[in-house]
Structure 1
Amino acid sequence: MLRWFSRCLPGFSILALLLLMLVAFSDSFTLLPWPGVLPYPVVGGRVQSIAREIFVVYALLVHLNMFAFTLRLSWSLFRVTEETRKALQRRSWHAPGSSSSLPLPLPPYSAEQEVQLDRTRRVDEADELEVVHAIILPNYCEDHHTLRTTLNVLASHPRASTQYEIYLAMEQKEQGAAEKAAMLVSAFEKAFHRIYTTFHPANLQGEIAGKSSNVSFAASRVVEVHRMELNTNTCDVIITVMDSDTHLSQDYFTEIRRLHFEHLAEADRSFYSCPIIFDRNSHETPILVRCADLLWGFAGLSTMYPGAPISIPTSVYSLPLTLAEKVGGWDSDPTAIGEDMHMLLKCYFGTMGNIISRTVFIPASQCNISSDRARGWRRTLDTCNARYKQALRHMWGALDTGFAIRNSATPPLGPKTSRRTACLFAFRPRHLALLSLLFEAHFLPCHGVIIMLFSVLYTLYHPTSQLSPLLARTFRVTDLLRTACFLWMNVCLALYERWHALCLSARMKDMMLANLNDTGFSRRTWWHTKYLCERVCFPVAGTLYGAIPTLQAVFSHFWTDRLVYRVSKKPTFEAV
C-alpha cells in the first residue's frame, strides 16, 4: 500500500491542489456561465478563509520556486562557460604533442589559481596515474550508422586504445543484433583497449524493457571482467553510461581522470554528471521541439553550478565501479525507467546521503529527435508527436519521487549506521535540497500551469476591484513573478548563446582533426528569426512537453507503472 501511495504521490498532489481551490473559491463557482454546476458553495465561513490563505501561500511559493529556478539557471550558465573554457585549455598540458590539442589562449591566473593548475599539471603528466573507462552503450534497433559514428568519435580520443573498454549493450530480441554487433566489434577491436557485446534477454521476470534493464545487464559483465581488481581493492574503473547517439569529447574523460586523482580519498563515492547540449541538428528542428530540448537541458544544468549540494544527471553520467557494486548495481524494475536520476538516487541512499556530486563541465553533444518523413508540415507534425512520446517517457520518471519517499521513510541501515542517524537522515539540509529538486521536476510543471490558468480565469470573471485585498495583492505579485521569470529566461537564453558557440567550436575542431565531418554541426545566430522566436515560444513548449505529459504520466501511475519504451528516431548527417 505504501509503495502504491508513494508512486501516486504526484497525482494525489494535483488532486489535492484542485480540492484546495474548490474549497477556497467555492462561492465563485456559482458565477460560472453554465448552469447546474455547484449552485451552492461547498463550504463557507472559516474553512473557506483558511483554505484561501493556504492557496495564497502555496501560489506564492510555487511562483518563487519558478523564479529561483531562472536565477539558479542564469548563474549556472554564467559559470559553465568559464568552467568549460578552463577545461578545454587544460588540454594543452594534458597530452603533450597530441595533434588534437586546442590552440586556445590561456587567461592570466591568480596565485591561488596557479597553485591549483600546478596540481592539475602534475596529475596529467604522471603517466602511471590512469583509470579504465568502461563505457556502456545501450541500444535497441539503433541505426548502424548512428552506432558507428558514436564509436568513431570515441575511437578518435588519444587514450581510447589504452584506457577505453566499450560494452555494446544489445537486446537479444532485436533481429540482426548479433550480426550488427559482430560488424562493429570487427571494425573497432583495434581502436579500443577492449570491446565487448552483451545481449540482454527478453521477458526477464520483474524487469521492464528499456535503457535501465539493458544497462543493468551490461554492468554485470563489467563486474565479471574486473572481479579480481574488486576483490583486491585495486579497482580504478569508472563506468560511463551514455546514449547511442551521444558524442563525448576526450576532455570529458580527462576531466574525470583529473577529478578522480585529485580527490582519491573520496573517489569511491563520487558521482560525475555533465550538462547536455543540442548542437547537432537543432537548426532543422521545429521550434517547439527545439525549445523543449533546450528546457530539458536547462533542467539538468540548473543543478550543476559550483557548490551545488547535489547535481541531477541527464542522459550521460559516470561513477566508479566500486560504488556501483556497493549499491547493488542498476535496477531494472519499472521504477527505474529514468535510469540516470534513479541511479543517482540509489547511490545517494546507498551511501546514506554521503555521495559526492562532481560536475564535468564538458557537455555531451546530443541530437534533437528526428523523423523519417520528407520535409514539410507532415514531417513537422511527426517530429512534434515523437517528441511528445519522448517527453512522456521522461516524465514517467516521476516514479523516482516514490522511490525517494520510500527510502527517506525507511533509509537503509548500514553496519555503522545507528537508528538515530537514520531517523535524522531525512532532515539533513542536503536531503531537503534533493527533495526540492524532485518537487521541481515532478510537481512544479503541473502545479505551476494549474495555478496560472486558474488565476487568469478567476481575474477574468472577477475584476480587480471586486477582489479581496489579499487576493488582489497575491495576483499582482504572481503576475510580476511570472513576468520576471519570462524576462530572466531571456537572459538565460542570451547566456546560452556564448556557451553553445564555445562548445560547438571546440567540437568542430576536434571532428575536423579526426576527419569526422559527418557528425552534424548546428550553429546558432541569435538575431535570426527562428532563434528570436525561441524567446517567446518557450512557455508554450514547456507546457506542451512538460506539464501535459507530466499530467498524463502521474495519473497513469494510479493503475500502472509500466510504459512501453519506444526508441526515438535519430537523424543522419552528410559530410561537410
Structure 2
Amino acid sequence: MLGWLTRCLPGFSLIALTLLLLCAFTDIIQSPLLKDFLPPSFNQPTQDGPWSGLGWAQKIFVVYAVVLHVHTFGFTFRLGWSLYRATKDARKVFQRRLSMSPTLTPQSPRSVCETYSDEPLTPVSLEGSPVPSIDKKNFVTINEITEQELVHAIIVPNYCEDLQTLETTLKVLASHPRARSRYEIYLAMEQKEDAAASKASHLISKFEQSFLEIHPTFHPSGIAGEIAGKSSNVACAARHIVEIHRKDLNFDCCNVVVTVMDADTHLSRDYFTEIRRLHYAHFDEANRSIYCCPIIFDRNSHEVPSLVRCADLLWGFAGLSTMYPGNWISIPTSVYSLPLSLAEEVGGWDSDPTAIGEDMHMLLKCYFETAGNVISRVVHSPASQCNVSSDSSRGWRRTIDTCFARYQQALRHMWGALDTGFAARRTLGYLRFHQRCAFLHPRHFALLLLLWEAHFLPAHLTIVMIFSVLYTLWVPAAQMHPTLAWAFTTTDLLRMSSLVGMNVCLSLYEQWHTLCLDSRMEDMRKADLPDTGFARRLWNKPQFLFDRICFPVAGTIFGAVPTLHAVLAHFWTDRLVYRVSKKPTFSLEAVGLA
C-alpha cells in the first residue's frame, strides 16, 4: 500500500490542486454540492488588510500561483548562469589540449607517462605490449600525459537500434587516442531482439581491434519484477563488468569507471580525460563521485519541426540548469559515469519499473545508499545527441510522425516521475531509522526541490496558467478581490519576464552550441568521420527565430501533457512498454549545416 501511495504522489498533487481551484473559486463554479461541503465561514473575512474577504483556499491559491511563477522566472536566471559557466568551462576543457602527442612507454597501466614526441600516439595493452594503432591525428590533452590511467567501461544499451547508428557511435569512440588501451565496450542488448546476436557479432568483428575489450551482454526476458528497457540492459551489463573486475574489487584496487550512454550519443575524448582529471584532483572523494555532463542537440536539429527542437532544448536545459558551480547536486541526463566500486557498493542498477528513468534513478540510489554523501561532478564536455526523426518522406506527414515520436519519448521521460515515489520511500526510511541529520541536510531539500521541479511543476504551472487566463476572461477585474487581481497581474508579468529571460538564455545557448559544434567538427574531420551529422544554429534564420516564441507551446505539449498522462496512469500501472525512438542516419551527401 505504501508503494502505491508514494508512487501516485504526483497524481495526488494534481487532485489536490483541482480541489483547491474548486474550493477557491465557487463564484464561477456555483456547485451546490461543493458549497454544502465548505464550512460556513469559508468565504468570510478573517482579518483586516489585503487578505480580508478571502477564504483559506483562495489565500493558498494566491501564494502557490505566485510561488510557481517566481520559481519559473528564477529558473531563467539559474539557466543563464549555467550556460555562461558552461561556455567558459567548455572553452577551458578544449584549451587543455597540447599540440604534440606522447609516446607511451610499455609500463604498468597505472604508470605516469612523461615522454614527449611528435610521433602519433601508440597505445599499450594492459600487459604492456604495444597494440596496432589507427591514425590518431587529433591532439592529446595535458591530462592524458601527466595523470595516471583509468579503465573506462562504456555501456552502450540498445534495443532494435539501427546498425549504422551503433557503428557510427563506436567509430567516434574508436577515434579517441586511449580507445585501444583504456576503453572496454559493453553492448547491452535485449535477448528477445531477433537480430541481437548477429548485430553483436558484426560489431565485435568490426571493432575488436579498436578497443581494449568489446563484449555483448543479453538481458533475458521473462524475469519476474524486471522490465525490458535501458535500465535492465545496463543492470545486466554492469553485473558482467563486476564479474570481470571481481579480483580488483576484492583487493580494493579497482580503477574502473563505468560510463552509461545512449546508442546514438557521441562523446568527445575530452569527456573521459576530464573524468580522469576530476578523479585524481578529488581522489579522497573519488569512490563516492558521480559524473554528469550537459547534452547538446547538434546533429540534425535543423531538420526537425520547431516544436520538437524546442522540446529537446528544454529537456537539455533541465539538466544543464543544475550544473552550475556550487550547486548541491546535479541531475544526469542520458550520459553519466561513476566508479565501478561505487556501483557495486550500492547494489548496481535496478531493473524494476521504478528505474525506467535510469539516469536520475541511479543518482537517487547512490544518494540514499551513501546517506546523502554522494558527490555529483560536472564534466564540461557535452554529449552530442540526435533529435528524434521519422522514416516518412518530407512534408506534413514527416512532421506529424516526428512530433508523435517525440511525444512517445516525452512520455517515457515523464514516466520517470516514479522516482518521486522512490525518493519519498527512502526519505521516510531516514526518519524510520532516526537519521534525521541526513533528512534535514540542505542537500536533501535541494534534491527534493529538483524532484518537485521535474515531476510536479510542469503540470501544476500549466493548470494554474490555463485557469488564470480563463478566470480573468470570465470575471472582469473590477469584480475581483483586489488581492486576486494583484495575483493575476503579477503572474502575467512573471510569465512575460520568463519569456524574455528564456530568450536571453537562447542567445547564451547559441554561443555555447557554436563553441561545442566547432570543436566536434574539428575532431570528426581529423578522425576522418565526416558523416556524423552537424547542425549549426544561425539566429537570423526563420526556423530559429521561431524557436524564441515556440518553446512555451513545446513545453506544454511535450512537458506538461505527457506529465499529466504519466502520473494519472500511475494510479493503475507502473509499467510502460519501452519504445525506441527513431534516430536519423547520415551520409556524406546528407550532411549539412543549417
TM value normalised by structure 1: 0.92
Partner of 2:18: 18
Quote the Cα distance in structure 1 between the aligned partners of 2:431 and 2:161.
38
Counterpart position of 2:191:
172
Q: Does 1:150 align with 2:169?
A: yes
Deviations 1:162-202 (A, max 9, x none): 00000011111111211111111011111101111111111
**Structure-1 residue corresponding to 2:66:** 60
User: 1:27: Cα distance to partner?
Assistant: 2.2
Partner of 2:323: 304
Counterpart of 2:478 in structure 1 is: 465
Counterpart in 2 of 1:291? 310
3-state secondary structure, aligned to 2:254: coil
> Aligned partners of 1:301, 1:562: CA distance in 2, in Å?
28
Unaligned runs of 5+ in 1: 31-35, 104-119, 414-418
User: How far apart are the structure 1 equivalents of 2:483 and 2:204?
Assistant: 68
1:543 aligns with 2:572: no
Q: Residue 3 of structure 1 aligns with which residue? A: 3
Q: 1:94 offset after TM fit, Å? A: 9.0
Q: Which residue, out of 282, 287, 299, partners 1:263?
A: 282
State how 1:501-520 maps to structure 2 within 5 Å: 501-520=514-533
Say whether residues 1:73 and 2:68 are aligned partners: no
Shift of 1:43: 2.9
* Corresponding letter in the other structure for 1:43: L
Matches within 5 A, 1:550-569: 550-569=563-582
Q: Secondary structure at the match of 2:373?
A: coil
Unaligned runs of 5+ in 2: 44-54, 103-117, 121-135
Structure 2 residue 270 is the aligned partner of structure 1 residue 251: yes
Counterpart among 471, 493, 500 of residue 480 in structure 1: 493
Q: 1:169 aligns to what SS in structure 2?
A: strand
Provide, for residues 21-79 of structure 1, a one-character-per-residue CA deviation record: whole Å limited to 9, x for no partner.
1111112213xxxxx88796753653341111011111111111111111100100011
Deviation at 1:431, TM superposition (A): 0.4
1:427 partner letter:
L
Between the aligned partners of 2:144 and 2:549, the Cα distance in structure 1 is 45
Partner Cα separation in structure 1 for residue 360 and residue 307 of structure 2: 25
What residue number does 2:511 align with?
Answer: 498
Aligned partner of 2:145: which letter? E
Structure 2 contact 431–439 (Cα < 8 Å) conserved? no
Contact 1:277 1:366 in 2 (8 A): yes
Choose which of 364, 372, 387 in structure 2 pairs with 1:353. 372
Distance in 1 separating the partners of 2:563 and 2:372: 27
Distance 2:298 2:342 in 1: 32
Task: Indicate conservation of the 8 Å contact 2:314/2:555, yes or no.
Answer: yes
1:77-226 equivalent positions in 2, closer than 5 A: 77-92=83-98, 95-96=101-102, 97=118, 100-101=137-138, 124-126=144-146, 129-226=148-245
Q: Structure 1 residue aligned with 2:441, among 428, 432, 442?
A: 428
Residues 374-409 of structure 1: CA deviation (Å, up to 9, x unaligned) = 111001100000100100000000000000000000
The C-alpha deviation readout for 1:66-99, integer Å capped at 9, x for no partner, is 1111110010001100000000111227955566
**Contact 2:100/2:139 (8 A) holds in 1:** no
Contact residue 27 and residue 42 of structure 1 kept, 8 A: no
Contact between 1:94 and 1:124, CA under 8 Å: does it hold in 2?
no
Cross-structure match for 2:105: none
Alpha-carbon distance between aligned partners in 1 of 2:32 and 2:309, rounded to the nearest angstrom? 41
Deviation, 1:126, is 3.0
Q: 1:236: Cα distance to partner?
A: 0.6
How far, CA to CA, are the matches of 1:317 and 1:252 in structure 2? 10
Give the Cα–Cα distance (whole angstroms) in 1 for the partners of residues 377 and 137 of structure 2. Answer: 26
Calculate the aligned-residue CA RMSD, in Å: 1.7
2:447 maps to amino acid: L
Distance 1:148 1:402, change over 3 A: same
Separation (CA, whole Å) in 2 of partners of 1:456 and 1:328: 49
Kindly indicate whether the alpha-carbon contact (under 8 Å) linking 1:29 and 1:37 is maintained by their aligned counterparts in 2: no
Tell whether 2:336 aligns with 1:341: no
Amino acid at match of 2:344: E
**For the Cα contact (< 8 Å) 1:138–1:244, is it kept in 2?**
yes
Residues 94 and 82 of structure 1: CA distance in aligned 2, closer, same or farther (over 3 Å)? farther
> Quick check: 1:300–1:313 contact (8 Å CA) kept in 2?
yes
Q: SS state of the match for residue 69, structure 2? A: helix
* SS of the residue 1:362 aligns to: coil
3-state SS in 2 of match to 1:196: strand
The answer (yes or no) to whether the contact 1:26–1:41 under 8 Å persists in 2 is no
Contact 2:99-2:139 at 8 Å conserved across structures:
no
Give the C-alpha shift of residue 101 in structure 1.
4.5
Q: 1:489 to 1:38 in 2, by over 3 A?
A: farther
Q: Is the 8 A contact 2:138 2:526 kept in 1?
A: no
Query: What letter matches 1:59 in structure 2?
Result: A
Cα offset for 1:466? 1.0
**What is the percent sequence identity of the aligned residues?**
64
1:333 Cα deviation after fit: 0.2
Identify if the C-alpha distance between structure 1 residues 406 and 89 changes in structure 2 by more than 3 Å, giving closer, same or farther.
same
Counterpart residue type for residue 487 of structure 1:
V
Deviations 1:281-333 (A, max 9, x none): 00000110000000000000000011111000000000000000000000000
What is the aligned partner in structure 2 of residue 408 from structure 1? 427
Structure 2 SS opposite 1:411: helix
Indicate the SS of the match to 2:578: coil
SS at match of 2:584: coil
CA deviation after TM superposition for structure 1 residue 524, in Å: 1.0
Q: 1:154 to 1:451 in 2, by over 3 A?
A: same
Letter in 1 for 2:493: L
Distance in 1 separating the partners of 2:245 and 2:231: 21
Contact 2:70 2:494 in 1 (8 A): yes
Structure in which a larger fraction of residues adopt helix: 1
Q: Are 2:405 and 1:386 equivalent residues in the alignment?
A: yes
Q: 2:23 touches 2:34 (CA, 8 Å); kept in 1?
A: no
**1:46 paired to 2:41:** yes
**1:441 and 2:461 correspond:** no
**8 Å CA contact 2:155, 2:261 repeated in 1:** yes
Name 1:108's counterpart in structure 2: none
Name the aligned partner's letter for residue 24 of structure 1.
Answer: A
**Structure 1 pair 304–39 and aligned structure 2 pair: CA distance change class (3 A):** closer
Name the counterpart of 1:116: none
Match of 1:234 in 2: 253
Between the aligned partners of 1:395 and 1:323, the Cα distance in structure 2 is 27
Find the aligned partners of 1:412 and 1:564 in 2 and give their Cα distance. 35
- Mapped to 2, the partners of 1:93 and 1:438 lie a distance apart of 44
Mapped partners of 1:101, 1:255: distance in 2: 17
Q: Distance in 1 between matches of 2:16 and 2:34?
A: 22
Aligned amino acid, residue 46 of structure 1: S
Going from structure 1 to structure 2, the CA distance change for 1:67 and 1:102 (only over 3 Å counts) comes to farther
TM-score (norm 2): 0.90
Work out the CA distance in 2 between the residues paired with 1:571 and 1:533.
23
Most deviating of 66-75 and 320-329: 66-75
- Report the alpha carbon displacement of residue 428 of structure 1 after superposing the two structures with TM: 1.1
Question: Are the counterparts in 2 of residues 349 and 412 from structure 1 also a CA contact under 8 Å?
Answer: no
The aligned counterpart of 1:278 is: 297
Secondary structure (helix, strand or coil) at the match of 1:533 reads helix
Q: Tell me if the contact between 1:370 and 1:570 (Cα under 8 Å) persists in the aligned partners.
A: yes
Q: Which amino acid aligns with 1:20?
A: L
Counterpart position of 1:33: none
Residues 458 and 195 of structure 1, relative CA distance in 2, 3 Å threshold? same
Q: Secondary structure at the match of 2:98?
A: helix
Aligned twin of 2:110: none
Q: What SS is found at the alignment partner of 1:208?
A: coil
